[in-house]
Amino acid sequence: MQELQNRLAGETSPYLQQHAHNPVAWQPWDKQALAAARASNRPILLSIGYSACHWCHVMAHESFEDEETARLMNALYVNIKVDREERPDLDKVYQLAHQVLSQRGGGWPLTVMLAPDDLAPFFAGTYFPREPRYGMPAFRDVLKRVHAAWVEQREQVIAQNRSLQAVMRRLEEPVATHEALSHAPLYAARALMEENFDDEHGGLRGAPKFPHPDMLEFLLNHADAENDTRAREIALLTLRRMADGGLFDQLGGGFYRYCVDARWEIPHFEKMLYDNGSLLALYASAARLDGRFREVTIETAEWLLREMRSPEGAFFSSLDADTNGEEGGTYAWTREEIHAAFEDHAEGELLEHFVVARFGLDGVPNFEGRWHLNIRRGIEALADQFGMAAETVATRLDEARRRLLDVREAREQPGRDEKILVSWNALAIRGLAIASRQLERDDWQQAAEAALQFIRDHQWRDGRLLAVHRDGRSRYEGYLDDYAFLAAAVLELLQCRWKTDDLAFLRELVDAMLANFEDHEHGGLFFTAHDHERLLHRPKPFTDEATPSGNGIAAQVLIRLGHLVDERRYLDAAERCLLAAASSIERAPHAHASLLEALREWLAPGETVILRGEESEMRKWQAALREARRRQVLAIPAEAPGLPEALALRKPQGACVAYVCRGFECSAPAMALDALLKQ
């Protein structure tokens, strides 16, 4: 067999391109690589990671750039490298296999050895060091031992593979319920969230600390629906601690991925588009409850547009955790660097004092001898300390923040993954749309529209989505999340401004999603389309992970759109999805926040308000209706063409008229704003 060569140079993924010059003969996951493994009867070493992953970079430097390790890998395996952001289907399958084989959670980099004939894994792990440490064996020893097992214990390996595949098949078996849907899971989830709540720091107890925006949104909605003040307290304390701690970039805006401690103090420094899209929506919708949330919304949106927006209007995927191999190197400060930033400023001494007091820089450094900035004193406390008006302190702190940000931006910056993913862009579009309405920022709405237009121009072909775009190439058939998240984003944009064309596109998206992903026999939606490459397992994801469940968001969209356009088949599909997910929800209700929101909507539909009339008057009415969380408000101009029958029946009358519906129950049209607000 001809010796394999590294084939990653022509790939679209920046992560794969980072490995294009490794001495390892990396292959992309494609027919050629899989055929080479079968022809040589060599096991596949599958390595899955992503560009912003710190430990992926560590393992690459220690092992994949090492000539001796590469020779061993090339001799014993066909080595395949996968970007989990381009191929989340493969990542879901082999993370689950890792969990079954090792009986513990996975992570990245994921290292899996597969049989070449059926692609079943017989060994799985994550990061392995070059030399034995952290209680882990050296990677070269793992390579030798696993290959020896493949050669010398083939029958046991095959038997294990059969057992694993049997487990996978059982996971695929439908467990739908025939019981009526009820509120019980909502209350069970609410109780579990409080049971695991960290009363001091917010979030779930322990470390590491993840933001869980879907869970927080569930709690805020539950608080409104049930007048549950404790649920609101839990959510708001968490939002405040995240905003003031190290999870939030206090200078540049935007959120890091998670914190390694229980106090939200020191993050893992990568910044992901999906986190920031979801958190932007969450903080914007909570901005009326706390002025700090308004600041966070503004700073996150500004970061998104400043650092993550492509020249064509779509959004890039992530920023690395590392700068030149140093985690958090761009973001940390010494006291000397803080002092130098203000040396030549007319009020430098005062601004430095503000910064030191604001971020508590008069104590012991909190990050490897340097400071990662966390807010230690609020504006009012600083005003008392310095004997100034709170407004003056806030203005000076903004000036100091801009000064420090200018200094920081002159440093070496972390790498940016510039591929464009439909699903993550959809979360950003949705976040910008919600933020634009809540804070009345037309520029954010325009940015959301530009990103949507990019996707329609470059990643929507022949009625199907292509998941990834980079360097002028769009590829990979879209996954469930691409359709569901984008549909949710379009639904939010329609509430910013009406475009009948966008409603038509939304219905095309939803129809394509149902045609290509729905399990027509058992309900729910698969992660991959019916004509997708057949893999070891076909996931039907119900639980929320780092992003919300595609089934949960799909069900929410189906319910809201079904009621909006009076399309019963959308509602029937949503009900089938909820019934299919019922047993999964029952096992761990708090892990299904997005599906629980769909269940809440199914059992007690939120208000839909259709405004018809003159645009200037409708804007006033929209502003007055903004505060309620579970309310859709669509302002449809009197002259809007091509409306579906359900909306065309809501005819304009006078300068503005409002039609208020809950599900299929609608009240008499309101001809005056006062009457509408009373209604």
Same domain, 594 and 627: no
Same domain, 118 and 202: no
Instruction: Determine the pLDDT at residue 325.
Output: 87
**pLDDT band (50, 70, 90) for residue 597:** very high
Task: With H, G, I as helix, E, B as strand and everything else as coil, classify residue 641.
Answer: coil
Same domain, 345 and 482: no
CA distance 4 to 302: 46
Same domain, 82 and 206: no
- Residues of the chain by 3-state class (helix, strand, coil), percent to 5: 50, 15, 35
Instruction: Determine the pLDDT at residue 173.
Output: 67
pTM: 0.96
Q: With a cut of 60, say whether residue 1 has pLDDT above it.
A: no
CA distance 379 to 353: 14
pLDDT digits (tens, 9 = 90+) for 485-544: 999 999 999 999 999 999 999 999 999 999 999 999 999 999 999 999 999 999 999 999
Mean pLDDT of 250-261: 98
Same domain, 389 and 468: no
**pLDDT band (50, 70, 90) for residue 243:** very high
pLDDT digits (tens, 9 = 90+) for 360-409: 999 899 999 999 999 999 999 999 999 999 999 999 999 999 999 999 99
CA distance 379 to 391: 8
Same domain, 52 and 157: yes
Could you tell me the two tokens for 228? 């549950």
CA neighbours closer than 13 Å in the CB half-sphere of residue 282: 25
Instruction: Determine the pLDDT at residue 449.
Output: 98
Kindly state whether residue 7 falls inside one of the protein's structural domains: no
Same domain, 544 and 639: no
Mean pLDDT of 630-653: 93
Mean pLDDT of 309-325: 95
Per DSSP (E only), the strands in 344-492 are 416-417, 420-421, 460-461, 464-470, 473-477
* CATH number of the domain residue 98 falls in: 3.40.30.10
51, 357, 503, 561, 619 from 605: Cα distances, Å: 41, 48, 20, 12, 24
Kindly state whether residue 8 falls inside one of the protein's structural domains: no
pLDDT digits (tens, 9 = 90+) for 161-201: 888 888 877 766 666 666 889 999 999 999 999 999 999 99
Name the region of 494 (left: φ>0; alpha: ψ -120 to 50; beta: rest): alpha
Which domain, by its residues, includes 301? 184-324+417-603
| Domain tally, the chain | 4
87, 400, 485, 524, 585 from 478: Cα distances, Å: 10, 44, 11, 17, 26
CA neighbours closer than 13 Å in the CB half-sphere of residue 480: 28
Mean pLDDT of 240-269: 98
Same domain, 249 and 383: no
For the stretch 215-219, contacts whose Cβ atoms lie closer than 8 Å and that sit 24 or more positions apart, written own/partner, are 215/544, 215/590, 215/593, 216/282, 217/281, 217/282, 217/285, 217/593, 217/597, 218/189, 218/193, 218/593, 218/594, 218/596, 218/597, 219/190, 219/193
Same domain, 138 and 227: no
What is the average pLDDT value for the chain, to the nearest integer? 95
Buried residues in 216-234 as b, exposed as e (16+ CB within 10 A): bbbbbbbbebeebeebbbb
Cis peptide before 208, with omega less than 30 degrees from 0? yes
Q: With a cut of 60, say whether residue 468 has pLDDT above it.
A: yes
Instruction: Determine the pLDDT at residue 177.
Output: 66
pLDDT digits (tens, 9 = 90+) for 107-117: 999 999 999 99
pLDDT digits (tens, 9 = 90+) for 538-581: 999 999 999 999 999 999 999 999 999 999 999 999 999 999 99
Same domain, 162 and 64: yes
Instruction: Determine the pLDDT at residue 170.
Output: 77
Instruction: Determine the pLDDT at residue 630.
Output: 77
